[in-house]
Structure 1
Amino acid sequence: MKKLVSFIATIFIVSLLIFFIFNILPGSPAQAILGVDADEQQVKLLEEELGLNEPLHLRYIHWIIGIAQGDLGVSYKYGQPVAEVLKDRIPISFSLAVIALILTVVIGIPLGILIAKTDGKWSSIILSMITQLGISTPSFWLGFILIMVFAVKFGLFPTYGFIPWSENLGEALKSVFLPSLAIAVGNIAIVIRYLKNSILDQTKEDYVRTAIVKGLGANEIMYNHVLRNALLPVLTVLGLITADTLGGSIIIENVFALPGLGSLLVTSIESRDFPLIQSLILIISLIIILANFTVDLLYKVIDPRIRV
């Protein structure tokens, strides 16, 4: 319950920041819509029509009430309800983020265990060097390399665009795999390094020496005892990686010409489409807050001592 109260309070504070920061920026959305040649009277009429002439606190209250009722407002640029504009974009960004996180976990955790178990050997040293390279490689640059190699040279994946999941499952997966991989590579390297260090720290603890004296096998000690304790810091990292994944998708979606939330955010900022910007950032913030809330709950599942 304490975490839930904290979750709700954080959402409230984030909504305040999002609304007021964007609405105190210089310049008028009405001016951006009508263009620089519009006269002052036209701008004022449009501001009245859009409700921009109301006091800031009243506009915030109307916005929050609308969100509570499922109304995100009307986009200035598209002239449609924001929910309609987002309807076709959310599945693309969501698919990108989920596949990137799945790749991070499925590849990162086994490799982290492998490097920790072979610590000091040449294979571990080489893999550690590769992870350092993965951390330092920008995702957008890696995206261009993946396009050149796997899309242009070998023709295994499309170079750009998105195929809806409802049309063709296989083609949809191919259209998001390369951008997801470009985002995931750096995150995989981070998970590997954190998990390796965490496992090596845990193997020095007294409970591991006790398990060895009891005659337990190396794999039993690793998977039943060490790994469970070593996963706690990795969970924290995965919560932070969620934010990096969403942030990275903004750039990657433009590299791969994916019509997701990232490319929409760039367009909405350029046109000063406040209802759309506010809704987009609020959705991204909610996902990040929810991811960290879930991580907090998982701590208690993995390590019951935290409950006490």
Structure 2
Amino acid sequence: MKLILSTSNIMGGGPSVIRRPTVEKSNTELTSSLRANFAAHQLAPSSTRPPIGIPTAPTRKPLQAWTAQEGSTLYIPALDVSGSALAEERSQYDITVKLFYLPNIPASARCAHTREAIDLVLRSLGVKSIDLLIVSFPGISFDADDSDSDADSPTTTTTTTTTSDPSTDPSAATTPDDFATMQQTWQAAETLHSAGTIGKLGVAEFGVQRLTRFLPLTRVPPAVDQINVRDCCVVPKPLILYAREQRIELLTHNDCTNILPRGTLRELLGPGEKGAAVLAGAAEAAEQGRLKGDVEPLWVVKYTAVVKDRGVVESKGYFAVAELKEE
């Protein structure tokens, strides 16, 4: 069974000025927003009147009451696009989507995931196209030293996920760049670009060496390179010069390498204190309506719709998709 988790529009408190500094990393924002959306849909006030002076404790609705199943796909919670649809004409917005491919997923599956992720965003926002798609390949991180080295070096770059990131999945700590897989995945995005569904394509964490090796493999080269720089947002000069030469816009971000590890997903959906009780505990019976089995995260997508002339974020949210391996 496929599980589609959604945050809905996390800008529920009103549009946010885009210039406001980002204080949360994407993994923290994702998990906290999912928990909040789950709680908003599954918790109901108690049907019994408590004694005077004693607060009413919320109770959880049955799983079927706040989720929706379509064939072999379960939406958690049931997808409601009314709160995410854009209020103004499509031409008034810049819509950016970042797709996080997760570890241990074959390139053939990622191609289908790309189409599925974009379709979910389009459906949620009520639009037919987005302006920019940034793809984030798993297991790589930006290395400033890479931009200072010989850009024509044929050696495959190996990167290590920083252990200071609490969301790091140790199984993906060291991953060599696989340009054949990247090319195959990129072709799916190129197809959507050619169809007019995506305006521009971008990559994340590419230094000079990666760009030098990747660009000849593309039919539609990346127009954006989004990097995470830790040293006061100082972008290495060789990368600035190379990006200018190739007409690539450099952007920075505050996203982590592995946005949704399996353990975090299990905690989100599990029966524990921080879980939504979608998954049954080891001693619980299936008759209680909860799902039995293990979950594997497949991909995460983040979308942002900014009103151009006012520079405010009107809609922002995440979808996370996982596979339930039933017992």
Which TM-score tier does this pair reach, normalised by the shorter chain? Answer: under 0.3
- Length-normalised TM-score, structure 2: 0.24
- Length-normalised TM-score, structure 1: 0.25
Bigger fraction of residues in helix: 1
Larger-gyration structure (1/2)? 1
